Structure 1
């Protein structure tokens, strides 16, 4: 969107620094550490909080967008946007490799994690943007590939007074060395309506 301000990669701080992160042609190329992930308890019985997230303050009302290129080949390879309050309260949304194809999805965590996915095999090798709009007690998450229309991904609760941060994240729960090229990190005004498609 034209009224979004670019966040410099050096304006944000790493939660769990990756193996490598370097600016390249206006983007940020990130290489993951071995078996990095964000998850809490549900179904698997474990807690993981060592994924990589580059976070800047995210107050409401407001919106944040993260762009990245989908280039995944290993189970659970993932990248996208994270909103984080603390280790037990966070949202991650983006694209994750599952059953051999990329899936668009989100994990919402309030003490315990959930998980939702929808296959998007046609997004492999292309640029994806994930957008989170925070207003009142909710976060609305949308995503799109290239300049295609936005898709609604999730409406999730987030306390109005919660001190949150947000930005790009990536993980590779089954391996080391996933390389993700992030292309966009911006903040701007919240969406005017839940049902009105985000512009631009």
Structure 2
């Protein structure tokens, strides 16, 4: 894997503040920022803070951040975007008092899956997306632990896609996420 410079990306929505230092990038989310389309709630939110760079087919991208979420729906991780109606966000979200690993896959309308990971709090978390053939495979881990499968979703091999770190704070101001790395490399060789 090779490091991606923070300056290589472009924001989908500018955050409240961004501070780059030797140990990473600190991003402060705007209150009300989120990414969602229609399902169950009936609204469209397209105000996530995603720092995106091209994500070609047959490659992988990883984002690492320190897990420090406190309020309902605080979230951080990796965003993969084709267009406003086709995107994936994967990472950790604070939901009903617990940190949960999950993904939202949007193809016109969003879905949502979560699995509690309360033991990950305070640790570095890495979210990895790999494009291979017609699939986007999402994995995650805390520290240098084993990779956990999060999701496999369809993604056309010829789709023009970008990806990178993201965060949102749907219910409050003041969420700051410390991203420690953004890397790219070859696609994963297998699903398992």
Q: TM-score, normalised by structure 1?
A: 0.95
Q: Structure 1 residue 107 and structure 2 residue 109: aligned?
A: no
Q: Are 2:12 and 1:11 aligned?
A: no
Secondary structure of 2:119's counterpart equals: helix
- Equivalent residue, structure 2, for 1:193: 190
Q: Distance in 2 between matches of 1:178 and 1:26?
A: 18
TM-score if structure 2 supplies the norm length? Answer: 0.99
Rounded Cα–Cα distance in structure 2 between residues aligned with 1:133 and 1:30: 24
Q: Which runs of 5+ in 2 are unaligned?
A: none
Q: 2: CA distance between counterparts of 1:36 and 1:51?
A: 5
Give the alignment of 1:40-59 within 5 angstroms: 40-59=37-56
Match of 1:182 among 176, 179, 182: 179
1:24 Cα shift? Answer: 2.1
User: Which portions of structure 1, spanning 4 or more consecutive aligned residues, are displaced by more than 4 angstroms?
Assistant: none
Alpha-carbon distance, 1:26 to partner: 2.6
Aligned length, in residue pairs: 192
State how far apart, in whole Å, the 2-side matches of 1:172 and 1:12 are: 20
C-alpha separation in 1, matches of 2:60 and 2:161: 12
Q: CA RMSD in A?
A: 0.6
